[in-house]
Each structure stands twice: as C-alpha cells, then as structure tokens.
Copies of this chain bind each other. A is one copy, B any other.
Amino acid sequence: MDAPAPPTGYRPDAFPPFAVTVDLIVLTIQDDRLRAVVVERGVDPYAGAWALPGGFVRIDEDLPEAASRELAEETGLTAADVHLEQVASYGRPGRDPRMRVVTIAYLALAAHLPELRPGTDASAARFADVDELLGRPGALAFDHGRLLADGVERARAKLEYSPLATAFCPPEFTVAELRRVYEVVWGVSLDPRNFHRKVTGTPGFLVPTGRSTARQGGRPAALFRVGDTQVLHPPITRRDG
C-alpha cells in the first residue's frame, strides 16, 4: 500500500516513517490452566518460531478497530464476545529487524474460544500454557515475551478491583467457576467459603439469576450474571488462604 494522498501541509520529510502494529494477548482458561494464543510465523524473521498474533494497523482504522479485526482474523471472535483493552506500547529500535515499528499491545479475555484458524502471515495457531511461556525466556519471537508478561500482570491486577474475571466465564456461571478463574490466573488456592462470602457480598458484582446447575456429584450451585459495577468495593484481595 502506498502512502495516503498528501493533505494540506503534509510534509513527507518532516517525520520518520514508522510501521504501527497491534499485537494481541488472547487469554483463556483450558483444563484449569491459563492459556494464550500463539501463532507460528511463516516468514522471516523468526520463521518457524511462535509469536503473539497481530498485524499492521491500516491507514484508515483506529487502534481498537485494528485490534478487533486482528482478533477476528485469528480467532473468529467478535468484539462483543471478549473483553478487549489496551495494555502498553513498545518501540525499541531494532525490536523488529526489518523496519522501525511501534506495537500497541491489546489484552483480550475470552471464556471459550472456537477453533483457531491461522491468519495470512501465520502457518499455524495454538493455545500455549502461559506459565510455560513465561518460564522460558525466548519462547516467543521479538519482545513478545515481555508483551505477554505485561498483559498477564495487567489481568492479574485487575481481577482484584474489577469484574474482569467474569470475562473468562460464560454469561451465566457459578461461584465455584468464578473462583477457579481467580485460582488459575493468580496461581493460588482460595478458601471456597470465604470466597463465596466476598463475591456475593460485594455490591453490584454478582446478580443471582434464580436458576441453578445440576452437576455430577455435589449440591447444585446457584447461577449468577455479572452486575453493573465496574469497580469492586471491597476488592477481592490477592493474599487469601
């Protein structure tokens, strides 16, 4: 694609040209493990290595639009299905050997992801265990290890004071399902009784639907929807037993 038609006052030599991309940290929970979408790169640099999904921002789209589009291309999820928020930007010279590129990282949280289909510049896509990726420096191409770490830390912090954990759950969920989200993302184990008291006692967090689940073995659990509150008072604190 060529440069856009120069509008009034446009001086193409007045600023250094950058490539701008959005990269996605797409998190979900599978088998009680926190997983992230990674794609296998089909072209150099890092051909054959795993990287976060992402791509160039088009000349006529906003940053959140670009993130939504890339998310749909890589996972088939629409913006209505997931929580999507900007995390941070990265622009160290040399982070991409091909060109000068600034990347805006977006965090996407989803309850259940459909089958992954590889994008145009990726030959494969899969879910990778987040702890394993973070424990192995260089597991991801470019500086994507840092992007992933920053995104995961953002998610971990926001569980405390926002209803973000419900983004990992289906529209209706039980307190135990919500607790598993906190336990998996934080990597801790929480007391079911205290957790139940806290989440049901925080005003506006959970709305009972009246229904309950019948599951194999054990008492049926009440089903909840997420409420209106965007900030939890009191918060769900991280240091629990």
Can you list the 7 inter-chain pairs with the closest CB atoms, starting with the nearest?
A17-B17, A16-B59, A15-B19, A63-B91, A18-B20, A89-B89, A15-B56
Q: Which of A10, A13, A20, A44 has the most CB of B within 10 A?
A: A20
Q: Smallest Cβ distance from A63 to chain B, in angstroms?
A: 4
Instruction: Give the number of chain A interface residues (Cβ < 8 Å).
Output: 39
Contact A93 B15, beta carbon cutoff 8 Å: no
Q: Smallest Cβ distance from A147 to chain B, in angstroms?
A: 13
- Interface residue ranges, A against B (CB under 8 Å): 1-4, 7-10, 13-20, 44-45, 56-63, 86, 88-93, 97-100, 102, 104
A189–B172 alpha-carbon span in the complex (Å)? 42
A102–B91 alpha-carbon span in the complex (Å)? 12
Contact B93 A60, beta carbon cutoff 8 Å: yes
Nearest residue (CB) in B for A17 is B17
Nearest residue (CB) in B for A91 is B63
Contact B44 A16, beta carbon cutoff 8 Å: no
With A1-B13, A18-B20, A57-B18 as known contacts, state yes or no: A62 contacts B91, CB within 8 Å. yes
